[in-house]
Amino acid sequence: MRAFFRRKRNIVLVLVLLIGGGMSIMGYYNDKDKYFEIAKNLDIFAAFYRELNTYYVDDLPPEKLMYKGIDAMLEETDPYTDFVPEENLDELKFMATGRYGGVGVSVNTDSDRTVITDVYEGSPMDKAGVKPGDIILSLDGKSTKGMEQEEISRMLKGAPGSALAMVTKHPVTGAESNKKIIREEINVRAVSFSGITGSDVGYIRMTQFTENSGQLVQSAFEELKKQYPTMKGLILDLRGNPGGLLDEAVSVANIFVDKNKLIVSTKGKVKSWDREYKTEEPAVDAHIPLVVLTNRSSASASEIVAGAIQDLDRGVIIGQRSFGKGLVQTTRPLPYNAKLKVTTAKYYTPSGRCIQAIDYSHRNSDGEVESMPDSLRRSFNTLAGRKVRDGGGVEPDDAVEPTLLSQVAITLLRKQYIFDYATQYYYSHPKAPQASTFTLSEDDFADFLKYLDGRNYSYKTRSEEALESFQSTAKKEKYYDAVAKEFEALQVKMKHDKKQDLLKNKQEIKRLLEEEIVNRYYMQRGRIEKSLSSDNEVNEAIAVLHKPERYQQLLK
């Protein structure tokens, strides 16, 4: 978002304020007040620009210089403090509401083609019969060939009710279709999936904390309880959830935590803004065994929920340490409908800890910031007396190593080969399989291997990358000549066989194919449902919830 203010604009109000008001500001403060220093430097800045603009040999564009100044100021803050011009307020609105004007698709663009990768259920594109795999040839009469993905995304978005003319090509038959799509308000739901897993454990996945997300989680939970009255526990999946509205985090926690319990407090420079956020309603269920899943991409409001559940000993956190964003942002109005999104406070979990991992107020000599070392993290106590620490995200009560994809799988995904094969499979198998139990047959996997014949999916294994790094270092330190023969022999032994790599990672590749194929029939819901059975964190959560004694042990 910081790139916004690098674009040309005609707003120079900042300059006017500096030149016209600098001297008058100075009169209000004495020289012992820090505001005197601010006023003095504003006056110096205004005078400097005035002289530079008057006498510099070439013309200087005022908007470019002003926004370079804003850019420089923002470099001294955290990455969450930002300037948002009027033309980008829709993105700020989307972060808060999950709504935007558009057609409801995701696309992938390379130099040759623009492919629709996902269609949102019930969206204008879904209603028009557009499918994943369809190739976009033109938008509003403009060819998409060579067009950047950012420009394509911009053209797909627009005011609800506006029309988009689109030409698509069928990925199998090559037939072209002309479509007129009427844009609508797209609502990206905070709850992307809810259902039962492991036969008797509820599962809810949240993607963001936007307006009414607390109510959506509550409705999903109440529906699960109604359909499965003997449900043994619930998994709340916050992995990959970047956060959002603080109030909604409190609402989500309130589903499982009784009335008048502290969930989070905020403290900042403006003391009158400090506040405690407590639950306001009786819990929907204050006793059902609860597991919250987190990973390194669970941030902000996700960490408020996870931190509160942990500090109040209301549930078990499983997965990996969360991101560590303990900062609160507020939007402030600026002239010409622009906004300043500024960090105004830090938030603290019920035990009193702040999980912020990086101190942006202290920088190295090169201007870089670092994560807080473990040695400086302080200990706090949960309600039951368990030790928890600040300064580095929410640490899980039951850590599970993240699942890492093999290099061959990463390459097949990046090259779109898994995606393209799923498209072919969909059109040759019109009958929809059951999402949760679909399995790719051995013949189908052999067909996929045949599909890959002649296609380029070259890659380097991590071992090969490590060898190259060793070779480079050894040459710099002049050790390489002494070990050259041994190195070359090792290099030959470790040279990978692409075909063997496919077979060695067969189960992983099959899983990715199955999830992509199911996505063709059931969209995002199907992909998630299919993924649950092979999800290590979900399976660990089910195992914990099936053993009450283990669940209780983790809370001691």
Q: Which residues are marked as active site?
A: 300, 311, 325
CA distance 394 to 321: 6
User: CA angle, 539 as apex, 537 and 541 as ends, to 5°?
Assistant: 70
Helix (H) or strand (E) holding 490: helix 480-494
Beta-carbon contacts of residue 140 (< 8 Å; ≥ 6 apart): 155, 164, 165, 166
Q: Which of 541, 500, 483, 515 is nearest to 236 (CA)?
A: 541
Contacts 24+ apart (CB under 8 A), 73-77: 74/2, 75/367, 77/342, 77/343, 77/360
How many alpha carbons lie under 13 Å from residue 493 in its C-beta half-sphere?
7
CA distance 326 to 307: 11
Beta-carbon contacts of residue 32 (< 8 Å; ≥ 6 apart): none
Joined together, the tokens standing for residue 378 give 């302080």
Instruction: Find out whether 392 and 324 touch, Cβ atoms under 8 Å.
Output: yes
Concatenated DSSP letters of 348-385: E-TTS-----B-TTS--TTS---BPPGGGPPEEE-TT-
Q: Which of 122, 124, 118 is nearest to 103 (CA)?
A: 124
SS (H, E, C) 214-252: HHHHHHHHHHHHHHCCCCCEEEEECCCCCCECHHHHHHH
**Alpha carbon of residue 506 to chain centroid:** 29
Joined together, the tokens standing for residue 212 give 């009414």
Helix (H) or strand (E) holding 164: strand 163-169
Q: First-to-last CA distance in the chain?
A: 44
Concatenated DSSP letters of 318-334: EES------EEEEEEE-
Instruction: Find out whether 201 and 186 touch, Cβ atoms under 8 Å.
Output: no
Joined together, the tokens standing for residue 8 give 């040309």
CA distance 143 to 39: 52
Report CA-CA distances (Å) from 497 to 149, 458, 461.
Answer: 34, 10, 10
